[in-house]
Chains A and B, each alone.
Chain A
Amino acid sequence: MINETLVFETLRDTTLEVVPELTAEQFRADECLADLGCNSIDRADIITMAMDRLGVVVPIGEVHSGLKVRDLVGLFAKHS
């Protein structure tokens, strides 16, 4: 199982790459990607790129709109 800190950092770095207007400080566990200003395409990009980078396949049926960053971290860690 991949360390949750590594998942969080990968999701954060990927999000900052896709949406450069964001800062690392804004990316917090209790935020939703949508609330951070990521549109639907940004969110799909972030999730698929993070899966690729971490070598993790999250079952598509477990990805839902409105998940908080901490939920995504938990999903990635669970399926690593």
Chain B
Amino acid sequence: MTHGIEWLNVYGGVAAIRAKAIFDGRGLDTERFGNVMMDARSVALPFEDPVTNAANAARPILDRTGTDRIELLITATESGLDHSKSVASHVHRALGLPASCRMLEVKQACYGATAALHLAIGHLAARADPEARALVIATDVAVVGAEGAYAEPATGSGAVAMLVGPDGGVLAVDPGAYGLHSFETLDSARPHPDRDLVDVDQSLVAYLSCATASFADYRNRVAGADLETTFDHLVWHTPFAGMAKAAHRALMRDQARASTAAIEADFARRVEASLRYPGLIGNLFSGSVYAALASLVDTARPAREARVGIFSYGSGCASEFFSGLIGPRSAARLAELRIGDQLDARVDLDFDQYLALLPAARSCLVPQKDKDIDVEGHLGLARAAAAGRPLLALTGVRDYRRTYEWIN
């Protein structure tokens, strides 16, 4: 048995809008639509926030496994609700986790969940208790509007939950096989709770440079590693699907000196299956690379053991290339959670409906002493999409205390 991800679930909301509807509604250049490679993005309802997303991603897993032996809860987010109190503490209560569970929130932009995954594996390996488990949840919300231009149709809200343990049935993480590359820069940030700051050129160049450098570090640690032959599949941090294609092209050019036609064929064979869910949800920040992993497993449905190379990048910036094994067990576990069906069941909003929801979504992280939430007004929509699934809802804020309730 190898430590890794035992269960993996993606929560991509209960409402979505087609990327094309935002392109049309905002008057964006439709010639760039192909470059972004997005079909849709999730849209948060007024009773959704990073806590509800996290709990709604984790609940289907815990309904199967129970919560008794979860000894560590880490929420990874760049959508924090407080400078002191963690998102994890709200999630701990909502999910009924044991009082004997360590809990904390981590932040390193879109790399946070990968850092948390590796720290959780290290923690469990040191514990040497075969029953102990860790729950790592990447959870975020979009606060972008028209000023974000092409980022608006590509940025989503939601969460990815990973149950981490000694039997990595979804992803058995290769021990000691990783490469890192980190340095300080300001390519993107969230300096206010309702404002993203992005230097697009710096961020994309940083991402591509980190992909090359992280893989070089991986190769230094893993004897004989070869980008073309070691990995059956490659999964990239996917802020928008077109970025994964660019990263694959850059690394193949750097490592394999491959022709354009050979790179295209390799992309279709080893990468394309990972882009379905990211292309339906939008950028899930630190969850995006794991939404891509879920997409790969659900789409490729591996019939035999297969090695996946995974690249995680977070602005600011930190990055890691690591690897692991997926196989028939991964496909069976993810099939149980019916992630694709639930994404397809989301309510399809038109542009006017999206605009009506946008102010609440953009301000959901802004501290307010008191706040009323119209849960009832959106229940019909949520219930239609949730199809019987329990959903956690934010019911209000009183004297800065957020209250939550399971609905449905």
Contact = CB atoms under 8 A, between A and B. Distances in A.
A60 B243 contact: no
Interface residues of A, number: 17
Interface size class on chain B is 20 to 34
Interface string A32-44: 0000000111011
B200 A65 contact: yes
Contact of B201 (A43, A49, A52): A43
B201 A47 contact: yes
A40 B207 CA distance: 12
Contacts of B212: 48
Nearest to B206: A60
A6 interface: no
A60 B200 contact: no
Interface stretch (B15-23, B79-87, B182-190, B359-367): B182-190
Interface in B117-145: none
B246 A64 contact: no
B374 interface: no
A61 B186 contact: yes
Interface string A50-80: 0010000000110111110000000000000
Contacts of B208: 44-45, 48
Interface in B285-332: 317
A33 to B, nearest CB: 8
A60 B205 contact: yes
Contacts of B209: 48, 60
Interface in B195-213: 199-202, 204-209, 212
A6 to B, nearest CB: 21
B201 A63 contact: yes
B254 interface: yes
B148 interface: no
Interface centre among A44, A61, A65 (most CB of B within 10 A): A44
A51 B209 CA distance: 10
A39 B186 contact: no
B101 to A, nearest CB: 38
Contacts of B242: 41
Contacts of B201: 40, 43-44, 47, 63-67
A60 to B, nearest CB: 5
B32 interface: yes
Contacts, number: 58
B200 A40 contact: yes
A41 B187 contact: no
Contact of B205 (A39, A44, A52, A66): A44
Interface string B216-229: 00000000000000
Nearest to B250: A48
Contacts of B35: 39-41
A44 B208 CA distance: 8
Contact of A45 (B184, B202, B206, B246): B246
Given A41-B243, A44-B205, A47-B205, A64 B199 contact: yes
A38 to B, nearest CB: 10
Contacts of A65: 199-202
A60 B246 contact: no
A65 B203 CA distance: 9
Interface centre among B186, B207, B212, B250 (most CB of A within 10 A): B250
Interface of B: 32, 35, 150, 183-187, 199-202, 204-209, 212, 242-243, 246, 249-250, 253-254, 317
12 contacts: A40-B150, A41-B35, A44-B201, A44-B205, A44-B208, A60-B317, A61-B184, A61-B186, A61-B202, A65-B202, A66-B201, A67-B201
Given A39-B32, A44-B208, A49-B253, 10 more contacts: A40-B35, A44-B204, A44-B246, A45-B208, A45-B246, A47-B205, A48-B212, A60-B183, A61-B185, A65-B202
